[in-house]
């Protein structure tokens, strides 16, 4: 023992209120006197011995916990076990001396441990259900590999084709006939898909198709990628896409003074059934003219307020490497553009696209000015060892990888599914950023929409239960992003505000800063 630790052990810290209360409870006589048997006496004696001998806090806590338990069960007081008040006080002091933060045995046993137990109870159901109700692609990996072998054989793909982005696009599933060979949909449903795909484009990469679990009704991967009859049955009046009223220049959308988007392509590796940009995505692939990009860049160049440019689409990673290198180079060369983002779902729909050349381009640009990759993952099932690895490499070469999920009925609108999504994404080097309420603009996916109060409950339920940096902000898009969070300031009593803890509903009083002091106080170093 070094001399400092020794000095500390010499002190006799005063017992705190919690410990005095604990000792008081233990000293209280029992309603009917007990005479504990041999077994119990041996057990307590050995707990006491360990608590005395070891330079540890846990044996002391164990002894007190057992004594409290026996006392509450009417099986004996410490005196019945030949322990005096002085013995217990000595041990309580010892606990405080050993603990680096001088935590008392009373505080630990009667306050901290019960609080931790209550907290644990909040996640029990989630922990027992998460793998069954919201399996990740990693949980399902063996079955995904079976699907992969089956799909490769059906499509005549070899490993090289599977592992290359062009191979994934060349073999993409875009007809009902091909789909029927790969997933086990009943004939009536295939007919419905055939009907819908006359109006809406379907395209799944073979990789994304391998994430669909055979035999699962309403598999969340299938729901996101295979259009259903509702898209047509719900068709009504489409509210014009944002582009019409928020595009001040070719390819550019702008809501905000400091951030704009460039819709650099209308192509995606996979077409989502809930796509907000349905009107111009997933109809016909278009390769944009150089002049279009030039006009977008001119607009940005001429607007010195713009500091952050979001290159999106469609999917930014559909752009060929040479094009991405050029575009990022042009943006980096604009003095007032200080950061960039790339919007892409490809790390989950076709992770093979994330190759070394792409990573080099991103790192090169990131070294000039920070670049974030903004992705869209809606279920834990989309995180496989392959997509996780793509995100791991992206996160090493860029400033951040962020997730913008869409809240979708039947796909991620339960606690277990949403918590599992956020935790799985987090464990895959991706930070949950936004959770979007599904758009009202397109009647084609009204069946996916979730009421705001349900979304709020989901988001609020995460506070205190999962890591803070895994909790997304809940957003409505309505000509800009509008936060939907519930306020936890529920009242005010003079200068005290009443705050609610989202995880327990408990209300606490919180002294606000005094407005008058705030208005008048002056401070300075040189008084």
Ligand X SMILES: *Cc1c(COP(=O)(O)O)cnc(C)c1O
Residue 295 beta carbon to ligand SF4: minimum distance, rounded to whole angstroms = 21
Residue 310: name its binding partner from ligand X, ligand SF4, none (Cβ under 5 to 8 Å by kind): ligand X
Cβ proximity to ligand SF4: between 409 and 486 the closer is 409
Rounded CA separation 231/248 (Å): 30
Cβ proximity to ligand SF4: between 91 and 407 the closer is 407
Residue 277: name its binding partner from ligand X, ligand SF4, none (Cβ under 5 to 8 Å by kind): ligand SF4
Q: What is the DSSP letter of 240?
A: P
Residue 121 beta carbon to ligand X: minimum distance, rounded to whole angstroms = 36
Residue 152: name its binding partner from ligand X, ligand SF4, none (Cβ under 5 to 8 Å by kind): none
Cβ proximity to ligand X: between 408 and 475 the closer is 475
Residue 97 beta carbon to ligand X: minimum distance, rounded to whole angstroms = 52
Q: Which residues pair with 482 in a beta bridge?
A: 476
Rounded CA separation 10/26 (Å): 26
Could you give the residue ranges of the DSSP H alpha helices within 54-112?
A: 58-72, 85-98, 105-107
Residue 273: name its binding partner from ligand SF4, ligand X, none (Cβ under 5 to 8 Å by kind): none
Cβ proximity to ligand SF4: between 93 and 477 the closer is 477
- Of 221, 213, 215, which is closest to residue 151 (Cα–Cα)? 213
Residue 269 beta carbon to ligand SF4: minimum distance, rounded to whole angstroms = 8
Residue 314: name its binding partner from ligand SF4, ligand X, none (Cβ under 5 to 8 Å by kind): ligand SF4
Residue 461: name its binding partner from ligand X, ligand SF4, none (Cβ under 5 to 8 Å by kind): none
Which residues lie closer than 8 Å to 419 by C-beta, 6 or more apart? Answer: 126, 130, 461, 462, 465, 466
Residue 343 beta carbon to ligand SF4: minimum distance, rounded to whole angstroms = 7
CB contact at 8 A, 178 and 157: no
Residue 262 beta carbon to ligand SF4: minimum distance, rounded to whole angstroms = 14
Cβ proximity to ligand SF4: between 241 and 282 the closer is 282
Cβ proximity to ligand SF4: between 138 and 376 the closer is 376
Distance between terminal CA atoms of the chain? 46
Binding site residues, ligand X, CB under 6 A: 253-256, 259-261, 310, 481
Residue 426: name its binding partner from ligand X, ligand SF4, none (Cβ under 5 to 8 Å by kind): none
CA distance readout (Å), 411 to 1, 129, 130, 149, 322: 57, 16, 14, 26, 36
CB contact at 8 A, 295 and 251: yes
Cβ proximity to ligand SF4: between 140 and 408 the closer is 408
Residue 310 beta carbon to ligand X: minimum distance, rounded to whole angstroms = 6
Rounded CA separation 277/267 (Å): 11
Residue 253: name its binding partner from ligand SF4, ligand X, none (Cβ under 5 to 8 Å by kind): ligand X
Residue 431: name its binding partner from ligand SF4, ligand X, none (Cβ under 5 to 8 Å by kind): none
Cβ proximity to ligand SF4: between 47 and 223 the closer is 223
Which residues lie closer than 8 Å to 61 by C-beta, 6 or more apart? Answer: 95, 105, 108, 109, 113
Residue 384: name its binding partner from ligand X, ligand SF4, none (Cβ under 5 to 8 Å by kind): none
Residue 438 beta carbon to ligand X: minimum distance, rounded to whole angstroms = 15
CB contact at 8 A, 507 and 497: no
Convert 139-160 to b/e letters by CB count within 10 Å (16 or more is b): bbeeebeebbeebbeebebeee
Cβ proximity to ligand X: between 263 and 447 the closer is 263
CB contact at 8 A, 486 and 453: no
Q: Which residue is nearest to ligand X (CB)?
A: 253
CA distance readout (Å), 213 to 186, 328, 367: 15, 38, 41
Residue 364 beta carbon to ligand SF4: minimum distance, rounded to whole angstroms = 25
Binding site residues, ligand SF4, CB under 6 A: 268, 271-272, 275, 277, 281-282, 313-315, 345, 376
Residue 384 beta carbon to ligand SF4: minimum distance, rounded to whole angstroms = 18
The count of C-alpha atoms lying within 13 angstroms of the C-alpha of 232, restricted to the half-sphere facing its C-beta, is 13
Give the length of the chain: 527
Cβ proximity to ligand SF4: between 313 and 455 the closer is 313
- Of 143, 341, 134, which is closest to residue 220 (Cα–Cα)? 134
Could you give the residue ranges of the DSSP H alpha helices within 258-303?
A: 290-301
């Amino acid at each position: 023992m070094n001399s400092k630790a020794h000095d500390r052990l010499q002190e006799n810290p005063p017992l705190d209120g919690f410990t005095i209360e604990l000792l008081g409870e233990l000293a209280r006589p029992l309603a009917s006197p007990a005479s504990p048997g041999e077994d119990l006496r041996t057990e307590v004696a050995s707990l006491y011995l360990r608590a005395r001998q070891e330079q540890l806090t846990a044996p002391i806590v164990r002894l007190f916990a057992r004594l409290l338990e026996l006392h509450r069960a009417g099986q004996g007081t410490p005196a019945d076990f030949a322990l005096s008040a002085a013995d217990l006080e000595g041990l309580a002091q010892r606990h405080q001396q050993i603990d680096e933060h001088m935590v008392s045995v009373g505080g630990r046993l009667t306050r901290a441990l019960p609080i931790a137990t209550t907290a644990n109870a909040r996640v029990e159901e989630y922990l027992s259900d998460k793998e069954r109700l919201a399996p990740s692609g990693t949980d399902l990996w063996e079955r995904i590999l079976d699907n992969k072998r089956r799909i490769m054989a059906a499509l005549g793909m070899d490993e090289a084709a599977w592992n290359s982005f062009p191979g994934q696009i060349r073999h993409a599933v875009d007809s009902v006939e091909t789909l029927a060979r790969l997933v086990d949909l009943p004939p009536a449903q295939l007919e419905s898909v055939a009907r819908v795909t006359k109006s809406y484009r379907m395209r799944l990469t073979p990789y994304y198709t391998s994430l669909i679990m055979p035999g699962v009704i309403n598999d969340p991967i299938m729901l996101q990628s295979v259009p259903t009859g509702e898209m047509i049955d719900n068709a009504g009046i489409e509210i014009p896409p944002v582009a019409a009223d928020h595009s001040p220049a070719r390819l550019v959308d702008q809501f905000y003074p400091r951030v704009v988007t460039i819709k650099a392509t209308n192509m995606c590796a996979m077409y989502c059934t809930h796509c907000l940009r349905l009107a111009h995505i997933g109809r016909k692939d278009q390769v944009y003219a150089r002049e279009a990009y030039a006009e977008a860049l001119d607009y940005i160049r001429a607007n010195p307020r713009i500091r952050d440019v979001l290159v999106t689409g469609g999917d930014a990673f559909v752009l060929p490497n040479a094009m991405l290198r050029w575009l990022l180079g042009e943006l980096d060369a604009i003095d007032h553009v200080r950061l960039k983002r790339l919007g892409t779902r490809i790390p989950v729909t076709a992770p093979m696209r994330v190759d070394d050349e792409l990573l080099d381009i991103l790192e090169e640009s990131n070294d000039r000015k920070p670049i974030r990759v903004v992705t869209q993952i809606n279920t834990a099932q989309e995180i496989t060892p392959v997509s996780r690895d793509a995100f791991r490499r992206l996160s090493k070469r860029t400033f951040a990888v962020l997730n913008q999920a869409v809240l979708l009925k039947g796909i991620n609108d339960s606690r277990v599914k949403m918590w599992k999504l956020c935790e799985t994404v987090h464990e895959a080097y991706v930070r949950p950023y936004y959770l979007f309420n599904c758009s009202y603009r397109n009647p084609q996916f009204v069946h996916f929409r979730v009421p705001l109060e349900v979304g709020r409950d989901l988001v609020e339920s995460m506070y205190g239960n999962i890591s803070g940096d895994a909790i997304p902000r809940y957003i409505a898009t309505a000509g800009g992003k509008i936060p939907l969070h519930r306020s936890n300031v529920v009242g005010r009593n003079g200068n005290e505000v009443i705050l609610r803890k989202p995880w327990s509903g408990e209300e606490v009083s919180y002294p606000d800063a005094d407005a008058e002091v705030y208005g008048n106080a002056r401070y300075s170093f040189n008084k």
